[in-house]
Amino acid sequence: MSILVCGGAGYIGSHTVYKLIEQGNDVIIVDNLQSGHLKAVNKNAKFYKGDIRDSKFLEKVFYENKIESVLHFAANSLVGESMVKPLLYFNNNVYGMQILLETMVKFNIKNIVFSSTAAVYGEPKRIPIVESDDTNPTNTYGETKLTMEKMMKWCNKAYGINFVALRYFNVAGALEDGSIGEDHHPETHLIPLILQVPLKKREFITVFGTDYPTADGTCIRDYIHVLDLADAHIKAVKYLENGNESNIFNLGNGIGFSVKEMIDAAKEVTKKDIKVVLGEKRAGDPAQLVASSEKARKILEWSPKYTNIKEIVKDAWTWHETHPNGFED
């Protein structure tokens, strides 16, 4: 039996595929390579290039393989872009999920592990955030992911499809040997942007807002290593394959770091000075986002191994230093 990974050529998908294969699983990858990279496709997986919204294509994949479980990473995921192109996000994310679920129903596939996000919560009422807290997304991206969670909930009731939704906080890092890593176009995430300064690809990093109600005035986020996420996905697949009920889990380290602390960590790791410009707030940024991952620790028996922020930044640096132009190198 195989595991189907939709979006297996993307950042989190490719790291999860690497770990699945390392642990002896048979993996099928589906990716349209819109934001994924051919060079990130694991050579030991069977690869189908195509779009999950193309039901004929997806049915062919299910027909040709004995699939037991699905890992679903295939989605658009840029918050800013989602606000100016909401229909693109509804089409790719929500409609993509509809076709995927319809195909799962048709082929009687019962398990799906889904890439969700802390963006489903919106502005948090308390820190750390627990899974039962209110969900009021403040951007289209978070709204599409919340809708996708709800689609799975109703398909669970109607068709017995079991799901685990994993709500990630700020994903960072790369495979330790630097062979795969983060490569977004355009790049909007803090750590890769900071590291572009010592790589001489940008002159300075702008700090978005310095008067937040935090100790140093900059935003606090919970950074989680991509390999810890990969580990959680594999545990979630086993959880479903062992017959456990559908569930939702936060995934974070449980420790918050400010933008200034992240820049300091990058200075230490790269041993280079990093020019900083203090800028205006970015619209829609909550002051603090920190996860409670107690539920995942208890039920999935997952715990993050990369709890030192410098270790996370070091792995990101190994990747970016050796691939300054991402997978184009």
Per CB under 6 A, residues contacting ligand UFG are: 77, 79, 117-119, 141, 170, 188-190, 193, 205-208, 219, 221, 259, 282, 285, 289
User: Distance from CA of residue 221 to its chain's centroid?
Assistant: 15
Burial class (CB in 10 A: 0-12, 13-18, 19+), 262: buried
> In a 3-state reduction of DSSP, which class is residue 310?
helix
Single out the catalytic residue among 18, 48, 89, 141: 141
Q: Least distance to ligand UFG from the beta carbon of 144, Å?
A: 11
Q: Please choose, from the candidates 142, 133, 113, 122, the residue with its C-alpha nearest in 3D space to the C-alpha of residue 292.
A: 133
Closer CB to ligand UFG, 70 or 79, in the complex: 79
239 is catalytic: no
Q: Least distance to ligand UFG from the beta carbon of 118, Å?
A: 4
Q: Least distance to ligand UFG from the beta carbon of 313, Å?
A: 13
* Tokens at 82, concatenated: 């989602």
Closer CB to ligand UFG, 109 or 229, in the complex: 229
Separation of alpha carbons 210 and 234, rounded Å:
39
Closer CB to ligand UFG, 161 or 198, in the complex: 198
Closer CB to ligand UFG, 111 or 293, in the complex: 293
Q: Please choose, from the candidates 265, 252, 270, 249, the residue with its C-alpha nearest in 3D space to the C-alpha of residue 320.
A: 270
Q: Which residues, including other chains, have CB under 8 Å from residue 99's CB and lie 6 or more apart?
A: 52, 53, 54, 55, 58
DSSP category for residue 14: H
Closer CB to ligand UFG, 241 or 264, in the complex: 264
Closer CB to ligand UFG, 62 or 168, in the complex: 168
Element (H, E) at 225: strand 223-225
Q: Least distance to ligand UFG from the beta carbon of 267, Å?
A: 15
CB 284 within 8 A of CB 322: no
Residue with structure tokens 């959680």?
232
Q: Least distance to ligand UFG from the beta carbon of 228, Å?
A: 15
CB 13 within 8 A of CB 71: yes
Distances (CA, A) of 74 to 2, 7, 35, 225: 18, 4, 9, 19
Q: Least distance to ligand UFG from the beta carbon of 281, Å?
A: 7
Q: What is the DSSP string of 107-125?
A: TT--EEEEEEEGGGT-S-S
* Tokens at 10, concatenated: 């993307």
Burial class (CB in 10 A: 0-12, 13-18, 19+), 269: buried
Give me the active site residues, please. Answer: 141
